[in-house]
């Protein structure tokens, strides 16, 4: 049984609730344990995963959050840099499923976050577990 840490950037509560529900359900359906850690925003997710990975308490990680395009360049910075940070950690061999949504508007985010629709939280959890399996098989 693996210990999976779900790191959520808690900015849009109603959207994050759906992402976390989907991720938790997927982890538990696969027979593993899920724990949730909340950080302020998407830029903090990679740092939190790096710190948690150093602890040795977790086998895989799920990154969750929602970044909705606004009127400024900030959207690109947050979307690109959070993804870059997560990718750098995966290249170091840390099993991570990236479920940080980057959307044009809230309606797109709802469709993607809702476990009854696209369930991107559940998909990210399944990706993390698949990478954990790959790490174990190749390790």
73 pLDDT above the threshold of 90: no
- What is d(CA 82, CA 76) in angstroms, rounded to the nearest whole number? 10
- What is d(CA 111, CA 54) in angstroms, rounded to the nearest whole number? 34
Identify the CATH class of 11-138: alpha beta
- Residue 43 DSSP class: G
Q: 36-46 pLDDT, tens per residue?
A: 999 999 999 99
Q: What pTM does this model have?
A: 0.97
Catalytic residue among 40, 74, 92, 111: 74
Which residues define the annotated binding site? 11, 42-44, 66-68, 71-72, 98, 112
- Residue 71 DSSP class: S
Which residues define the annotated binding site for 5-amino-6-(D-ribitylamino)uracil? 11, 42-44, 66-68, 98
CA–CA distance from 60 to each of 2, 3, 49, 64, 112 (Å)? Answer: 8, 7, 9, 13, 22
């Amino acid at each position: 049984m693996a210990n999976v840490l779900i790191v959520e950037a808690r900015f849009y509560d109603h959207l994050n609730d759906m992402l976390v529900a989907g991720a938790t359900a997927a982890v538990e359906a696969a027979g593993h344990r899920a724990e949730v850690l909340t950080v302020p925003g998407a830029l903090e997710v990679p740092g939190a995963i790096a710190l948690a990975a150093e602890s040795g308490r977790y086998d895989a990680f799920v990154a969750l959050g929602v970044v909705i395009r606004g009127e400024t360049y900030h959207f690109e910075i947050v979307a690109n840099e959070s993804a870059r940070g997560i990718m750098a950690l995966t290249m170091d061999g840390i099993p991570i499923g990236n479920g940080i949504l980057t959307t044009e508007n809230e309606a797109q985010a709802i469709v993607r976050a809702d476990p009854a629709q696209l369930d991107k939280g559940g998909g990210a959890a399944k990706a993390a577990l698949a990478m954990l399996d790959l790490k174990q098989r190749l390790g």
